[in-house]
Amino acid sequence: MATNSDHGQELRTRSPVLHNDLKLPARLVANVANWNQQELTPDWLVALPETVAGLCAKWDIALNPVIPETDVTLVLIGHSPVLGPVVIKSSPLGDEFRAEATALRLAASDNVARLYDVDFDRSAMVIERIVPGTQLRQVEMSDEQATRLAAEAVATMWRPVPDPAGLYPLRRWMSALLDGPPPPDRVDSGLIRRAQEMAAVLLAGTSRDCLLHGDFQHHNLLLRASGEWAIIDP
């Protein structure tokens, strides 16, 4: 019987290569190899070349020869004559992947990156690549203007969710704060207790399920060529 460490060693010694001979980022391969395999989509890394090849064939996607360096999620930039500029994203963290894809589907609108295709079994999806994709933080405007713009944009995502299956409940998303607060030498323990008390009251008073972004910040609001803004990476 192979152990978790045996499987990790196997992955480190044979890094998969994509159908166009692109090698996967070494850091991503190493991180996946050293991860607790029971937390990952089974055989995700081994199946990745076939998964990517299938999506590229389906949508006639030509991939950029440079793969961005990432920690655990594969991000491939490409172009499809059918869809236009695209990103292929795939992650071995099945729950997080499902939550992101589900949120994109539920939030579908003109100011959210479009979800074109998703394979939940293999944790891979094809989404719109925002062009030129200038981040909010790179635009010259006052902090007040940027904050107001961001707040108005993300508020459009807040909508009732009749069936929250596949999404992360806020209680789970905040577990690091509620269940395992940071060491007191980093954050004042009084502030932590106050935050926990406020969170408990607010969560207890929740009367409906509502879609939130989960990681909304100035990297995840991008400018379209039309001058409109688009939200990515919920």
- So what's the pLDDT on residue 193? 86
- So what's the pLDDT on residue 13? 46
- So what's the pLDDT on residue 148? 96
- So what's the pLDDT on residue 185? 79
Question: From CA 73, how far away is CA 98, in angstroms rounded?
Answer: 13
DSSP state of 105: H
> For 41-79, what is each residue's pLDDT tens digit?
999 999 999 999 999 999 999 999 999 999 999 999 999
Domains of the chain: 4-134+216-231 (3.30.200.20), 139-204 (no CATH)
- So what's the pLDDT on residue 12? 46
H or E stretch covering 34: helix 26-34
> For 160-210, what is each residue's pLDDT tens digit?
998 999 999 988 888 888 887 667 777 788 888 888 899 989 989 888 899
Question: From CA 77, how far away is CA 181, in angstroms rounded?
Answer: 37
Question: For the purposes of burial, counting CB atoms within 10 Å of the CB of 166, is it exposed (0-12), middle (13-18) or buried (19 or more)?
Answer: middle
The predicted model gives 104-116 an average pLDDT of 95
12-18: long-range pairs with CB below 8 Å, 24+: 16/45, 16/46, 16/48, 16/49, 17/49, 18/48, 18/49, 18/52, 18/53, 18/63
| Three-class DSSP category at 117 | strand
**Closest among 156, 119, 145, 132 to 234, alpha carbons compared:** 156
Provide the token pair at 145.
């203007």
Q: Tell whether the model's pLDDT for residue 8 goes beyond 70.
A: no
The predicted model gives 3-27 an average pLDDT of 71
Q: Measured at the alpha carbon of residue 233, what is the angle toward residues 231 and 234, in degrees to the nearest 5?
A: 85
Question: From CA 72, how far away is CA 35, in angstroms rounded?
Answer: 10
pTM of the model: 0.86
H or E stretch covering 33: helix 26-34
More confident residue, 1 or 54: 54
Q: What are phi and psi of 115, to 5 degrees?
A: -95, 115
Across the chain, what does the average pLDDT equal? 90
| Three-class DSSP category at 138 | helix
Q: Tell whether the model's pLDDT for residue 94 goes beyond 90.
A: yes
- Label residue 69 left, alpha or beta by phi (over 0 means left) and psi (-120 to 50 means alpha): beta
